[in-house]
Amino acid sequence: MTDAGAKKTRKRAAVPQNIKHMREVIEKAREGGDPDRVLAQKAKGKLTARERIHYLVDEDSFQELDLLVTTRCNDFGLQDKHIPGDGVITGIGRVGGREVAIFAQDFTVLGGSLGLAHANKICKIMDMAVENRVPVIGLLDSGGARIQEGVDSLDGYAKIFYRNTKASGVIPQISVILGPCAGGAVYSPALTDFVFMVEGSSHMFVTGPEVVKAATGETVTFDVLGGGMTHGAKSGNCHFLPRSEPDCFRQVRELISFLPQNRWEKPPRLANPDPIRRTTPLLEVLCEVDPRKPYRVHHVIWQLADEHKFFEVMHDFAKNIVIGFMRLGGDVVGVVANNPAHKAGAIDIDASDKAARFIRFLNTFNIPILTLVDVPGYWPGVEQEHGGIIRHGAKLLHAYAEATVPKVTVVLRKAYGGAYIAMSSKHMGADFNFALPCAEIAVMGPAGAIEILFSRKLKAGTPEEQAKLRVELTDDYKRRFASPYQTASTGSVDEVIEPSEVRHKIARAFRFLENKRQPGEHDNRGNIPL
């Protein structure tokens, strides 16, 4: 090497002081909490905030913002603490090649508690998400309002709740609970579209076990009060309950694959290797079996979906109705289906809330709705009436009637009374209504109907004569009413279809509806929690 060449190489190798300083500052800021805090986090089986982002986004796609923001609070010794990024990492990344905005609370830094600067960072990334029309994903792991920062922390939460509400129905908002989420902090996820919790390590509650004990005398563990199963199966606050954090991020990525970036777009269409004319023989079997026999409606959905894939939402809550996403001919379709395996598929308070909010989400984000009907009616009982089945059931009617996206309904088996109306019937605004030949569409089931229609006749004669008459009347009622043909004769069912052709029929219908336009479709719609 010549002297001149060596000089050049030396020159390039020397890092200027300001760049060196920048690297040191960044490295220090990226450290997160003290090593013992990181160890404590790991000991609980939890990932660090940076590891979580790594699992969530496409490789090397995360770009951090506001790394150097820190608190301006000097009370209670905060001035002496190193508070990297103020306990939250924010930035942009890509999921499946599409842009998203992210914030991830870092429990190793002051317990991920939310002070003013922490809140401002979250608000800034949310504002960027809305302005640029991309989904926002929040990873929450926090001790709540930062006690040292007093009312500033509470105001920080208020700013976030305000933005959650304004962003509702504009961009998809996803909350992932990965540790504690306590006090008023729970209301940010509750305002978003989908909440994930990891079994065993996520907790949500307004007041913790100690306050509960003091106020009501009840003794309860963290898990029973606000663990994943509690919110997944009982309260309905949680939509997905993965077993581990890596599994959780895989599911978040899958969910995103079904969603549009914002309310002005449609979800992405994928290449479809599954023939659209593939027959659906399982539905023929359904028409052969005893109509009182329960079955999991998932089998029907798998049979209809591209490659038999169904991404279920709220699997453990109100199992009498099933909701989720599938693809049909490569296009995303939202599914709402009665599930005869639970409560005979009857509609109750929880099922109404679950389905209604999902339908409103689908409508807001331009996702067509497939409704599969097998419903004997509303779940009866004093508890349901006093709990407000009228008020909650009305949400389901409202959601379906309001929805302007393409709506296709298939009556598989039973569709009785008010529940027939509610499940996207023709005059509630469905575009295509199909029925299988084994469908029973009537005001009420044969057994109940004949007792009302022929109560006097059925009380006359000997018990044997009564039993015989009951069988005859039931058969006659079934023949005349409990079939799809009366409904088809009025046009409320467009077509009674071959069970083996259902996949093709519904795909054809959705293709026809691709450019459907209806008044009100551009109205601003928030996805209010129901």
Nearest to 447 by CA among 468, 478, 426: 478
Give the three-class secondary structure for 378.
strand
The residue (of 123 and 287) whose beta carbon lies closer to ligand HXC is 123
Pick one of 69, 145, 297, 359: the residue that binds ligand HXC (CB under 6 A): 145
Identified catalytic residue from 356, 419, 435, 442 = 419
Pick one of 70, 105, 113, 173: the residue that binds ligand HXC (CB under 6 A): 113
The residue (of 64 and 141) whose beta carbon lies closer to ligand HXC is 141
The residue (of 32 and 236) whose beta carbon lies closer to ligand HXC is 32
Pick one of 178, 182, 297, 362: the residue that binds ligand HXC (CB under 6 A): 182
Residue with tokens 């790991």: 42
- How many CA atoms lie within 13 Å of 369's alpha carbon, on the beta-carbon side? 33
Q: Are the beta carbons of 495 and 436 closer than 8 angstroms?
A: no
Q: Does the protein bind ligand HXC through residue 183 (CB under 6 A)?
A: yes
Q: What is the 3-state secondary structure (H, E, C) of 312-343?
A: EECCCCCCCEEEEEEEECCEEEEEEEECCCCH
Q: Does the protein bind ligand HXC through residue 157 (CB under 6 A)?
A: yes
Q: Does the protein bind ligand HXC through residue 260 (CB under 6 A)?
A: no
- Please state the closest distance from residue 112 (CB atom) to ligand HXC, in A: 7
Please, which residues have CB within 8 angstroms of residue 59's CB and are 6 or more apart in sequence? none
Residue 183 falls in the annotated catalytic set = yes
Binding segment for ligand HXC (CB under 6 A), chosen from 17-25, 108-116, 338-346, 396-404, is 108-116
Contact track, ligand HXC, 341-380, x by CB under 6 A: ----------------------------------------
Pick one of 78, 147, 341, 397: the residue that binds ligand HXC (CB under 6 A): 147
Residue 419 falls in the annotated catalytic set = yes
Q: Count of residues binding ligand HXC (CB under 6 A)?
A: 17
Q: Are the beta carbons of 70 and 117 closer than 8 angstroms?
A: yes
- How many CA atoms lie within 13 Å of 512's alpha carbon, on the beta-carbon side? 10
Q: Does the protein bind ligand HXC through residue 84 (CB under 6 A)?
A: no
The residue (of 121 and 146) whose beta carbon lies closer to ligand HXC is 146
Q: Enumerate the β-bridge partners of residue 65.
A: 90
d(CA 178, CA 242): 11
Binding segment for ligand HXC (CB under 6 A), chosen from 4-12, 106-114, 318-326, 382-390, is 106-114
Identified catalytic residue from 115, 183, 226, 329 = 183
Nearest to 526 by CA among 404, 365, 405, 355: 365
Q: Does the protein bind ligand HXC through residue 37 (CB under 6 A)?
A: yes
Binding segment for ligand HXC (CB under 6 A), chosen from 11-19, 140-148, 380-388, 426-434, is 140-148
- Please state the closest distance from residue 68 (CB atom) to ligand HXC, in A: 21
CA separation, residue 508 to residues 329, 333, 432, 434 (Å): 9, 13, 10, 12
Q: Does the protein bind ligand HXC through residue 111 (CB under 6 A)?
A: yes
Sheet holding 136-140, edge to edge: 63-65, 88-95, 98-105, 136-140, 173-177, 194-197
DSSP string, 174-228: EEEE-SEEEGGGGHHHHHSSEEEE-TTT-EEESS-HHHHHHHH-----HHHHHSH
Q: Are the beta carbons of 291 and 328 closer than 8 angstroms?
A: no
Residues 423-462: b if buried by 16+ CB within 10 A, e if exposed: bbbbebebbbbbbbebbbbbebbbeebbeeeeeeebeeee
- Please state the closest distance from residue 36 (CB atom) to ligand HXC, in A: 8
Q: Does the protein bind ligand HXC through residue 313 (CB under 6 A)?
A: no
- Per DSSP bridges, beta strands 369-375 and 321-328 are unpaired
- Per DSSP bridges, beta strands 98-105 and 88-95 are antiparallel
Q: Does the protein bind ligand HXC through residue 159 (CB under 6 A)?
A: no
Binding segment for ligand HXC (CB under 6 A), chosen from 141-149, 317-325, 393-401, 472-480, is 141-149
Pick one of 121, 146, 263, 395: the residue that binds ligand HXC (CB under 6 A): 146
Binding segment for ligand HXC (CB under 6 A), chosen from 179-187, 233-241, 458-466, 510-518, is 179-187
- Helix (H) or strand (E) holding 495, with range, is strand 495-496
The residue (of 245 and 306) whose beta carbon lies closer to ligand HXC is 245
Pick one of 110, 139, 178, 411: the residue that binds ligand HXC (CB under 6 A): 110
d(CA 292, CA 341): 11
Identified catalytic residue from 200, 208, 418, 448 = 418
Q: Give the phi and the psi of residue 444 in degrees, each rounded to 5.
A: -155, 170
Centre a 10 Å sphere on the Cβ of residue 485 and count the other Cβ atoms it contains: 15
The residue (of 148 and 230) whose beta carbon lies closer to ligand HXC is 148
Q: Does the protein bind ligand HXC through residue 184 (CB under 6 A)?
A: yes
Catalytic sites, residue numbers:
183-184, 418-419
Residues that bind ligand HXC (CB under 6 A): 37, 110-111, 113, 143-148, 154, 157, 180, 182-185
